Structure 1
Amino acid sequence: MFQETPIYSRLIAERGDVPQEVRGEAERIRRDLGRLIATAPQPPAAGQHYRPHAP
């Protein structure tokens, strides 16, 4: 992506690789949302009433 510089290497050593941590969290959230969206109830078709399932 880019050439690492000494200051960047020092910042990672001191503070951790924040951009990598953010990418990891974003990927985790994307996977979680993908599972939720895949299992979410579908809205009723036109002209039908929504009836939620009883718990």
Structure 2
Amino acid sequence: MFQDSPIYDRLIAECGDVPAQVRREAERVSRELELVMRPLQSPGLDRPAGSPGNGWHRTALLPGPRPA
């Protein structure tokens, strides 16, 4: 991207490759979130792709106090 840029090369030498560090950290966090957000399944229990409980579903909460 900035291969022939002496200013960019100097910034990398002084501060490190911040965009690459951010990209690696974002990929790491994304992998961790995939593991955490994966639904729990018992070993040997395979559900069809369209069955209830397979995956996560977002639901909206209405404003106001939450039900007890």
Task: Note whether the superposition's TM-score is higher than 0.5.
Answer: yes
Q: Number of residue pairs matched?
A: 42
- Shift, 1:39, TM fit: 4.1
SS of 1:4's equivalent?
coil
Q: Percent of aligned pairs with the same residue?
A: 56
Q: Which aligned segments of 4 or more residues in structure 1 are displaced greater than 4 angstroms?
A: none
- What runs of 5+ residues in structure 2 fail to find an aligned partner? 41-52, 54-68
Partner deviation per Cα, 1:1-55 (whole Å, 9 max, x = no partner): 3443000000000000000000000000000000001145x6xxxxxxxxxxxxx
Relative to its length, the structure with more helix (as a share) is: 1
TM-score, L = length of structure 1? 0.64
Q: 1:24 is matched with which residue? A: 24
Query: Aligned-pair RMSD on alpha carbons?
Result: 2.0
**Matched AA of 1:26:** A
TM-score, L = length of structure 2? 0.53
